[in-house]
Amino acid sequence: MATLTRLLIVFAGLFGAAGVALAAAAAHVPDAGRLGPASSMLLFHASAVLAATLLAEHSLIHRIPGLAATFGLLLGTALFAGDLTLRQFAGHGLFPMAAPTGGTLLIGSWLLLAIAGAFAPRR
């Protein structure tokens, strides 16, 4: 298994663990309105990163745009969920417009993943 594939799987696992931890915190921390969406983004995109990685690894999508989309999913999720989580616990975000930037990156990454699927190699 390639080092890049392993790295993506590790990040997906970390996102999944963080998503569960934030879901638990959301259930116990008062006024934790930002933690639910952050948890959902992490959990959902952990699965998406795993799926996109495996699709690229097995040549079911075009590898280069597929991996670019996967890294976009990672970065967009980290920005979005990280900003919401930091706002919840520290009272400030990562940087101005971090969550919307992450969300926009996620949208673009999903579109790029669709393109990678449309131009997948013929089997």
Is pLDDT of 109 > 80?
yes
Residue 80 tokens, joined: 């979005």
Q: How many residues does the chain have?
A: 123
What Cα–Cα distance (Å) separates residue 45 from each residue in 65, 71, 74, 87, 107? Answer: 17, 11, 8, 20, 12
pTM: 0.92
Residue 28 tokens, joined: 């116990």
Residue 114 tokens, joined: 């669709």
65-81: pLDDT as tens digits: 999 999 999 999 999 99
Specify the pLDDT at position 1. Answer: 61
Residue type at 108 in one-letter notation: G
| Arithmetic mean of pLDDT, 5-25 | 96
Specify the pLDDT at position 84. Answer: 97
17-53: pLDDT as tens digits: 999 999 999 999 888 889 999 999 999 999 999 999 9
